[in-house]
Structure 1
Amino acid sequence: MRILFLDVDVHYFNPTRGLQGRLVSLAGDVRCFGPGYVSSEVLASGLPAFVARYGPFDVAIMTEHIAFAEDYVGAAVLDSYRRNYAFRFPMADLQRRGDMRRAFCALPMPKVAFLLESDYYNFTSEQIKGLSAVADWLVGWNGDFVKPKAELSGLERESFGHKANDHWANFVCAGHARMIPLVHFVADEEFSFTALSHRAADWCVPGILYDARHRARTALISAGCTMSRRHRWPIAPVLTRMGLHPFSRPLFTVWYQEMFRREIHQARFAFTCGSGLQWPIRKFFEIPALGAVLVCVPCNGFEALGFRDGENAIICKPEALPEIGRRLSADPNTAQAIADAGRRLVGACHTVSVRAVQLRTALEAALAGRWHGAHWVKGRMVPDDPVVATVAVPGAHG
């Protein structure tokens, strides 16, 4: 299967950004087009010329950086790229994103929108209509993982809660058959096999302090639990105030990611949550991959992703963490068994190579007219009605 992949070659502190190209390349024979992926001269010659030279392709995929190119334009957007992403191509190449999106829309081949970096909670209805009009299929979270606000308790306690809407939740319920519901994943180098007994700290609570994480840290510190060191954030605001834009520097991004992993690797137990949105964020996979016991407020689709309370993870309210820590410390064999089971689950079901197989399987079924959406069951993405071929293969939109 030959894949045309449209993206911007920028690097971000969330590893999912840097792994998407690898995922797509494992799913098929891929050619990348976009700023950083090709020379400025090839980019300026346009997508049609690129397709004429390197085609034909079976399917075209675009990421958010292209899908929303016409929604986010102007000097402020370019400045945001300069401050928040690391890249090596000329800034002027970013201004070609709109041309790329328009050319993508005109391609006479099936099309996919790849949306694994999206904040689904604040999509506008216009953005969703635009995606739906252009893409035949959408890679992103479906109704297994995104719930209406009415079903979410605690969203109002998040700083962004008032901005959340139900546009995406409503869309994925209505357009389920067009969804390829991939979720986050980890790379092979993100695993650790260090025993819990050799870890210096009891706990860590990595990441942004959402309401549940803030309550978790408060409870753990008040109980005198040892916490692994947080090396990352204090230096970033200082460098930003100095005008150095640390996240635009590749070495800082590498350092930041390593310090994040080290924080988890130093702890026996790690708490996370999916914020008030209850999303299956990457930390649900990073923590067990790094060999710590995953203790959490469960995300949407927790059991569908293969997690089982007391077997490969522990469900716990933030205020009860000190007691859970004492029980696990008193029974180290059980704690190690839970950590090992969590790591096995991620290794078997949630790596970039597994996602590549899932993507390839979905695209092949879609191109053959046999894709009707999918649900997750016990850590596996299971196609709906996989043998019933009743859907015609979509052509180009527009």
Structure 2
Amino acid sequence: MKDDRQVEGLLRELAPQVIGLLVRKHGQFDACEDAVQEALLSAAQQWPVQGIPDSPKSWLATVASRRLVDEWRSESARRRREENSALMEPAGAGATATVSGSDDTLTVLFLCCHPSLSAPSQLALTLRAVGGLTTGEIANAFLVPESTLAQRISRAKQTIKKAGAEFVLPPAAELAERLRVVLQVLYLIFNEGYTTSGGPDLHRADLTAEAIRLTRLLRRLMPDEDEVTGLLALMLLTDARRAARAGDDGSLVPLAEQDRSRWNAEMIAEGVSLVSGALEAGPVGPYQVQAAIAAVHDEAPTATGTDWSQILALYDVLEKVSPGPVVTLNRAVAVAEVNGPEAGLELLATLDDDSRMNQTHRLDSVRGHLLELAGGTGAAREAYLRAAAKTASEPEKQYLTRRAERLG
């Protein structure tokens, strides 16, 4: 089992590096990525039995290159290559943005988060090409058929080709905006793992771990980007509570009722250190502020000992830095804790006509909580039931239903 985990970790680390080697040599990201996936599968089957080769990266590159050559020998592939000869050619080094410590992994990550792709396509392609996950593993994580996920990845690579994307880092003028997309994709991967959007599981530890691993890698490649550090801190400070977030039966345990002795003190200490350093470095971004909020929660010895005034002040900053309905929703909870549930409900009412909140259960869930605090038992029960009807997560549905039943 230990050898299997060692092989799995090594393959995930090497996957984007080998893709980079092949694309720089042959061009055509789509074909190279497919070939590397086949090489990874072969390695996953052979290495645990035969042992890890002396040069695993070279082994993967050799096997993937053979797969690529075999594919290109076919007449149909030759015709496709002629038709698409101008697409995905490696660009000269002079076109790349200068990033200290950058390597092909960073280039692959930015390419997978190309702005021409939809968010689901960015997620899937990032997890496969950079995370080294198989199509089946990604499909299981997002509760879709493997064939659907495979088509999504195939369409994503074709979209990148049609967009004329080159295998280089974005120009310096575009780097900040493209980095924002990369961070958003990594955060979405983490969130899907921490609060699974559908199915019987409350969380997917494999996805949260992969999001943290990739964000650590991104920070190593871009150490001067404080928002990368902020995102890593936010993930660590949030994931530190995961063990206490579920009961023995897998049921959801809300933050206020969690056994804080089960929180991961090592992760909290690292997260606090990271966000403290990032906040001292210069202008703050949304991930840094969210990490600071998470740190206040994690450092409170008890739920009643939480410094809600500080949290509200941080949400005031976050609303200025990155306004949006989710920020308002979370800020309403802090407002209720500081100024009373009626004040929180008044703020929530500003979201009633926001179309972005129509498809989520979060608004009704928070409204039910604040109505319960305000003594509106009947209205709270109705809000919980509306929220339960909207969520596809079985643990959340059960939790909300129980809250409603408790109110009669």
Q: TM-score range by the shorter chain?
A: under 0.3
Greater fraction of residues in helix = 2
TM-score by length of 1: 0.26
Higher RCO by CA contacts (8 Å cutoff, separation 6 or greater): 1
Which has the larger strand fraction?
1
- Give the alignment's TM-score, normalised by structure 2: 0.25
